[in-house]
Chain A
């Protein structure tokens, strides 16, 4: 039944495999960021950058294969859009890792616990997104994956408020200059935006699923 929509050719299978690789790369990048934030290890931030480059290469391959003729024409733009949404998560991961290099560690320590919680949730959300993609291709229960992702996103929203409150009340944070403040704001913003993008991607998977019914 599903083969009718997805196509059963070699090219389609190859694209689906590449998308899985792409999502696995996203998962690795979130794990890498978690390591950086947990160990406060600046060198590790370059690993996020490398994974983003790898994902960029995979993205180009996927999109070329789709436009070489994989899948029915009406599915192609939707699949490309899914990849493009996910790409934004890489941008935020990269920005977060970049800002961490310039983040004053004594201020970071005040919000470290919350940041690690968010990074951990990002990893878990990615793993569920992969399961969601597999559920879409196997016509499994995608709805429950989408719900779990929404629950996680709500948790991140709560933690985001805690981080803002801690920073507003931090004496150290009050003493920073414009550029240091900008780095902190960008770091926090990008860290908590990753889950937003994963939620968008999971919503898009659900729309794709509905459009195939």
Chain B
């Protein structure tokens, strides 16, 4: 797996503000058929966050809390794990394993998030590389 993360990352990032409600996030996740949203920082001192279906289920729905009343900022995981676009796939896999996470974000030189790599992207890459041999 010699490829860099920038070659396999998904650049279509769905974002949400930390002031939005969990219900807004649920609607977005269902509409776009995705499993996570990037939570934008409130200001320049704040970090990016991520809200996943898992967060919503365990922190809100399973606790019988009202998703309309809970703000995304209260349940988002922060800070996110982000790597530079030159990172190789092997390193991404190690990060995923070490931190028990399913997605790693990719940042540019200005520390802005520009992409996302999920398990599925890595699975696809491994299968394609195998087929090319």
Contacts and interface: CB of A to CB of B under 8 A. Distances in A.
Interface in B75-133: 124, 127-128, 130-132
B45 interface: no
Interface residues of A, number: 13
B64 interface: no
B26 to A, nearest CB: 23
A127 B12 CA distance: 27
A143 B122 CA distance: 19
A149 B127 CA distance: 10
A151 B132 contact: no
Interface in B3-50: 12
A145 B127 CA distance: 9
Interface in A125-183: 127-128, 131, 144-145, 147-149, 151-152, 155, 162
Interface of B is mostly: helix
Given A127-B132, A128-B132, A131-B132, A151 B12 contact: no
Contact of A147 (B12, B131, B132): B131
A13 B10 CA distance: 43
A183 B71 CA distance: 48
Most buried by A among B130, B131, B132: B131
A148 B131 contact: yes
Contacts of A149: 131
B132 A162 contact: no
B12 A148 contact: no
Contacts of A147: 127, 131
A152 B121 CA distance: 11
A162 B12 contact: yes
Nearest to B10: A158
Contacts of B128: 124, 128, 148, 151-152
B115 to A, nearest CB: 14
A130 to B, nearest CB: 10
Interface in A90-136: 124, 127-128, 131
Interface of A: 124, 127-128, 131, 144-145, 147-149, 151-152, 155, 162
Interface of B: 12, 124, 127-128, 130-132
